[in-house]
Homo-oligomer: A and B are copies of this chain.
């Protein structure tokens, strides 16, 4: 990779650059490791996670005790907590990743040139993947498994609140790797380097091929702003559904209810409902009635509140808020153009869906909405690596570079061009 801003590798252990250098060396073994060997490593990791509650849970209890002392919220404590059930679920997830197809070596495209040169572009691992995330120990296992399956070494910087748990999990992973003959440095944590370690990781261009932040919008924007290493960004979802004049009333009810209620806390859940003014009176009573009976708070514009006087007045802030809760913004629009304008102004480019029976409006919506996933007559909850058939999901990219939408194993790879000749030179 480019030597720009790359410091000469140091071999003295206990510096972060040395950790990254060890990851680079390990990545060479992983890059050429067979699928069978990588799958054996994943099986060993799954077994170790399941069998070592006795080592994991005491460390997790320590983190939880520290968390309580430091006033960690109940929600965050719950995300931090591991028990035997959760460990078994984690192990099963790793086994599912082992069952997925190996993206490495896939022939993406190729041709023979008139001069006889044979070109092929093949998938290769990135090399060293850095991940910065929060106090969720499941991400440690999850990401390590995804990185290994795609032939990458990974350097993990988890939330300090999970430091003891993560140390034990990484020890177990490294023991499992050693058991099958892969380098333990394939998976390393840099939690011991603290805040400075995270900053060094973001600046380690040439050592780290790609950096993936997983967590809050604040974490992601910090990494985007500070990193000189290329970043794959997983963004927030201010997700819209537009009910067009010709919307099938049952589809409108089913899709809005599913998009808002099935799992309100995730990024593909509905946050803003737009309704064609000519359909508002026909559709809103049944659509919003269903939601309110499920405890959803409606934040409505004036015309919505004319139909639902008890709706909370929607503020400018509501239109750009990812509630991740039982709240929904509702706006009556004059038609498709105003719906598209609203989406352009407030969408985060994650997922938008139109419910309609009008072909022209369908094609305009699909063409003009600039989001990772654009749907017609379907629930936004389908924007998901599992639903798309990718198996495990790295995250959902709302940026346009390298990956857009649900990211599977192949989004953790790059490509390289192989050129086979017989003495050809350029004329």
Contact A421 B375 (CB under 8 A): yes
For A405, give its contact among B224, B257, B402, B417 (CB under 8 Å): B417
A424 vs B383: C-alpha distance when bound (angstroms): 13
Interface check A251, CB cutoff 8 A: yes
Contact A376 B423 (CB under 8 A): no
Interface check A193, CB cutoff 8 A: no
Query: Of the 9-residue stretches A66-74, A90-98, A111-119, which lies at the interface with chain B?
Result: A111-119
Contact B224 A423 (CB under 8 A): no
Interface check A368, CB cutoff 8 A: yes
A377 to chain B: which residues have CB within 8 Å?
420-424
Contact A426 B1 (CB under 8 A): no
For A401, give its contact among B248, B353, B401 (CB under 8 Å): B401
For A402, give its contact among B250, B259, B401 (CB under 8 Å): B401
| Given A376-B421, A382-B419, A416-B371, A3 and B320 contact (CB-CB distance below 8 Å) | yes
Contact A258 B348 (CB under 8 A): no
Q: CB-nearest residue of chain B relative to A350? A: B2
Contact B368 A28 (CB under 8 A): yes
CB distance from A53 to the nearest CB of B (A): 32
Contact B425 A414 (CB under 8 A): no
A425 to chain B: which residues have CB within 8 Å?
254-255, 257-259, 262, 378-379, 381
Query: Of the 9-residue stretches A232-240, A272-280, A281-289, A299-307, which lies at the interface with chain B?
Result: A232-240
Most chain B CB within 10 A, of A349, A376, A426, is at: A426
A113 vs B383: C-alpha distance when bound (angstroms): 13
| Given A233-B2, A348-B2, A210 and B421 contact (CB-CB distance below 8 Å) | no
Interface check A154, CB cutoff 8 A: no
Contact B424 A378 (CB under 8 A): yes
Interface check A360, CB cutoff 8 A: no
A225 vs B224: C-alpha distance when bound (angstroms): 11
A422 vs B236: C-alpha distance when bound (angstroms): 26
A414 to chain B: which residues have CB within 8 Å?
400-401, 404
Q: CB-nearest residue of chain B relative to A225? A: B228
A232 vs B378: C-alpha distance when bound (angstroms): 34
A5 to chain B: which residues have CB within 8 Å?
221, 224-225
A382 to chain B: which residues have CB within 8 Å?
117, 419, 421, 424, 426
Q: Which 9 A-B pairs have the closest CB atoms?
A: A378-B421, A258-B425, A400-B414, A251-B423, A402-B402, A381-B426, A2-B235, A375-B419, A230-B401
Q: Give 27 pairs: A residue, B residue, CB < 8 Å, sorted on A.
A: A1-B235, A1-B348, A2-B348, A2-B349, A2-B399, A4-B220, A4-B221, A4-B224, A4-B235, A5-B225, A31-B367, A31-B368, A31-B370, A113-B387, A117-B382, A257-B425, A259-B425, A366-B418, A378-B421, A379-B424, A379-B425, A379-B426, A388-B417, A401-B402, A401-B414, A404-B416, A405-B416
